[in-house]
Amino acid sequence: MGRKVADFPMNELRDYNPELINKPDNFDQFWYREKTRLENVMPHFSVDWRDYPVPTAEVADIVLESFDTTPLKGLFIKPKELTECPVIVSFHGYTGSRGLAADYLKWLNLGVAVISFDVRGQGSSPDYARYANGSRIPGWMLKGIDAHSDYYYTNVYRDIMLQLNWIRSKNFPVKATKVGAMGASQGGALALVAAGLDGHMDFVVSDWPFIAHFERALEVALTGPYMEIINYFKWNDPLYKKENEVMRTLGYIDSVHFCSAITCSVLMAVGLEDSTTPPSTVFAAYNHISSSDKHIEVYPQFTHEGNPFHEEKKIEFVATQLQV
């Protein structure tokens, strides 16, 4: 099935459940402490409703002030006049953005609202955090790489916890009757992390997640953001003297390390010709998810790309979850 570009054959992928040798001993304690520190923080926010031409939709521009005052720019779209409904938290891919209201209209037909934020430093959200190191490599993977508590994605995960706090608060524009997380690539990883950190997510849709199983990804990925780390070693540390320190930082944010805490329904997808988020890294995440209600769609000839066939599967999955 498929060409299995630079990765395991399908029978090995199905059973690929690697030992988490890079998961820090204090991983759970670290994130419990971060969650506890933020759980009573109610961020400042603004909601500016647009004059939107679709009569069945209401659309708002959101600004949410995060823990370090970084203003996270968001988009909220809901079925007109509904005051309570299910909410999908949508996470975008690396270098992407929250998208346009038109991207989410299909979910309104199911009676679902969608909230999507630009990840800090990406889209139109700035990043007010200060990072101790510089780098010759463009991108976000190396910001703060020398210290896990100050690392870029540690801050992103803090943002997500605050976003979820707000979504479940009385200050959110609707009462969320269910909350689901959804995304692809970087967004797929953030959906898994959100579910693992939150502990109360109702469902997750994660397409070909990035930030997954770094030990394997750094060996076989040929394109995309993982290459920032490969090139960091090439140009900053050619003898890999700091490899252990780098891997320790990445161990705190690897989405696979959050998967054992996921017990809700999960739909995932993978393309067997994906050299950006290699199939083995996706299956590593999938096989570590604790939920008994999980499924992964395998697309033999798809690379790291949009998949219209899978969009139909996602609509069917979400519709089913709303009936539970």
Out of 125, 185, 265, 275, the active site residue is 185
Q: Is 304 an active-site residue?
A: yes
Decide if 184 contacts 208 (C-beta within 8 A). Answer: yes
Sign of CA dihedral 224, 182, 312, 209: positive
Q: Is 159 an active-site residue?
A: no
Q: Would residue 42 count as lying in a domain?
A: yes
**Segment 168-194, tens digit of pLDDT:** 999 999 999 999 999 999 999 999 999
Q: Would residue 2 count as lying in a domain?
A: no
Please report which residue ranges of 169-307 form alpha helices under DSSP H.
186-198, 214-220, 226-236, 243-251, 279-288
CA distance 105 to 311: 13
Q: Would residue 4 count as lying in a domain?
A: no
The yes-or-no verdict on residue 2 having pLDDT over 60 is no
CA distance 142 to 199: 28
- Quick one: pLDDT band at residue 239, thresholds 50, 70, 90? very high
Out of 257, 288, 304, 310, the active site residue is 304
The CA–CA distances, whole Å, from 163 to 65, 188, 226 equal 10, 17, 26
Out of 148, 198, 274, 280, the active site residue is 274
Look at the chain and report how many structural domains it folds into.
Answer: 1
CA distance 14 to 176: 35
Domain of 135 in residue numbering reads as: 10-322
Mean pLDDT of 307-312: 96
Q: Would residue 111 count as lying in a domain?
A: yes
**Domain holding 250: CATH number?**
3.40.50.1820
CA angle, corner 260, sides to 255 and 262, nearest 5?
85
**Segment 109-147, tens digit of pLDDT:** 999 999 999 999 999 999 999 999 888 889 999 999 999
pTM score of the predicted model: 0.97
* pLDDT > 90 in the chain, percent: 94
Q: Would residue 240 count as lying in a domain?
A: yes
